[in-house]
């Protein structure tokens, strides 16, 4: 008997675990695997429906009692930097950007470990070794780049910021960014977002996907500071308004079953297979 992997993506749900963003809450995720044959098309399609990529997995929150994690993106054509953001750009004017294939380096790993030890010492990635870091960067069936930001010095240049970025058919998805914590006064996280807006403009792409904004989480409030922000609510993208910061309806929970959530997803056609 001949067995082959199913062409249609299979969806699964994680077991409940403590929420990393909001106290006294639990999270679970709806997820599916990415296969090389249809990985790019699936990543494009599900990113537009609130999913995020982690290596060869696409996932989206599927919590029963909370819906605070909301996928957000910047509409590039409507974006206008604030005075504060323009100052951030000026503070980083000496940084040299380079985009590279998704290949891990020692400099990236050293920067990553320094960042985690300073910013996320209790996070789940703190114990990641060099091989696991390499897998995070390199295990991808989609168009992915590592965007590096170097600062020149007397000895040459030094890596200060980096972002793992997917290139979608309609935008850039900032999968994971990290930076030298000694550069915090230059707001490197915000700067990388601003620079990705510029990259998207250069590439004539419509959006920059920022991952999840979590209403009520201080870690995520900064995302609401960007103009032309859009939120993915029930599969539809709507423009963000400041009053949404206190909208309890956004965090009240998801009353759809997992089967109902999966049935409403738009899935790209699988490529032709030959046996």
User: Mean pLDDT over residues 102-119, rounded?
Assistant: 94
Per-residue pLDDT, 20: 83
Res 90 pLDDT > 90: yes
User: Mean pLDDT over residues 87-106, rounded?
Assistant: 96
pLDDT bucket at 7, cuts 50 / 70 / 90? low
Cα distances (Å, whole numbers) of residue 49 to 41, 52, 69, 120, 264: 13, 9, 13, 28, 10
Cα distances (Å, whole numbers) of residue 50 to 2, 24, 30, 59, 222: 35, 24, 11, 9, 19
- Between residues 155 and 69, which one has the greater pLDDT? 69
Radius of gyration, CA atoms only, the chain: 19
Res 40 pLDDT > 80: yes
Res 54 pLDDT > 70: yes
In which residue are the tokens 């058919």 written?
169
Per-residue pLDDT, 118: 85
Res 2 pLDDT > 80: no
Indicate the angle between helix axes 83-91 and 188-203, nearest 10 degrees.
90
Res 32 pLDDT > 80: yes
Compute the residue count for the chain: 275
pLDDT bucket at 215, cuts 50 / 70 / 90? confident
Per-residue pLDDT, 274: 45
Indicate the angle between helix axes 106-119 and 130-138, nearest 10 degrees.
110
- Assess contact for 64 and 253: CB atoms under 8 A: yes
pLDDT bucket at 247, cuts 50 / 70 / 90? low
* pTM attached to this predicted model: 0.90
Res 195 pLDDT > 60: yes
Residues facing residue 214 across a β-bridge = 69
User: Mean pLDDT over residues 41-58, rounded?
Assistant: 95
Nearest residue to 172 (alpha-carbon basis) of 146, 139, 191, 190 = 146
pLDDT bucket at 121, cuts 50 / 70 / 90? low
Cα distances (Å, whole numbers) of residue 79 to 75, 82, 215, 227: 6, 10, 21, 6
Per-residue pLDDT, 102: 95
User: Mean pLDDT over residues 88-98, rounded?
Assistant: 96
Which residues of the chain are in CATH 3.40.630.30 domains?
Answer: 73-250
> SS in 3 state form for 194-233?
HHHHHHHHHHCCCEEEEEEEECCCCCCHHHHHCCCEEEEE
Res 149 pLDDT > 60: yes
CATH class of 73-250: alpha beta
Q: Give CA–CA dist 149/95, Å, rounded.
A: 6
- Give the range with max mean pLDDT: 63-72, 170-179, 242-251: 170-179
DSSP characters over the chain: ------SSPPEEEPPPEE-SSSTT-EE-EEEEE--TTTHHHHHHHHHTTT-EEETTEEEEE--SS---EEEEEEEGGG----HHHHHHHHHTTTEEEEEEES---HHHHHHHHHHHHHH-TTSTTTT--HHHHHHHHH--SS-EEEEEEEEEETTEEEEEEEEEEEE-SSEEEEEEEEE-GGGGGG-HHHHHHHHHHHHHHHHT-SEEEEEEEETT-TTTGGGGGSTTEEEEETTEEEE--GGGGG-GGGGS---S-HHHHHHT---PPPPP---
Per-residue pLDDT, 235: 84
- For the chain, what percent of residues have pLDDT higher than 90? 65
Structure tokens at 205: 């792409």
């Amino acid at each position: 008997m001949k067995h082959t992997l199913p062409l249609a993506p299979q969806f699964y749900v994680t077991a409940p675990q403590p929420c990393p963003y909001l106290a006294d809450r639990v999270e679970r995720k709806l997820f599916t695997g990415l296969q090389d044959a249809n990985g790019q098309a699936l990543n494009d399609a599900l990113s537009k429906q609130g999913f995020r990529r982690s290596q060869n997995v696409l996932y989206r929150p599927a919590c029963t009692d909370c819906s605070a994690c909301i996928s957000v993106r910047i509409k590039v054509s409507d974006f206008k930097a604030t005075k504060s953001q323009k100052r951030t750009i000026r503070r980083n004017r000496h940084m040299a950007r380079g985009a590279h294939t998704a290949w891990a380096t020692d400099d990236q790993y050293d920067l990553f470990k320094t960042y985690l030890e300073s910013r996320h010492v209790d996070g789940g990635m703190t114990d990641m070794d060099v091989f696991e870091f390499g897998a995070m960067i390199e295990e991808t069936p989609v168009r992915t780049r590592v965007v590096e930001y170097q600062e020149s010095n007397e000895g040459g240049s030094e890596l200060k910021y980096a972002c793992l970025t997917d290139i979608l058919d309609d935008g850039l998805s900032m999968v994971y960014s990290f930076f030298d914590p000694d550069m915090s006064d230059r707001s490197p996280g915000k700067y990388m977002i601003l620079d990705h807006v510029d990259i998207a403009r250069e590439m004539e792409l419509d959006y920059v996907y920022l991952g999840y904004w979590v209403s009520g989480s201080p870690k995520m409030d900064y995302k609401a500071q960007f103009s032309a922000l859009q939120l993915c609510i029930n599969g539809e993208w709507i423009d963000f308004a400041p009053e949404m910061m206190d909208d309890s309806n956004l965090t009240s929970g998801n009353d759809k079953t997992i089967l109902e959530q999966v049935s409403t997803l738009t899935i790209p056609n699988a490529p032709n297979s030959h046996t």
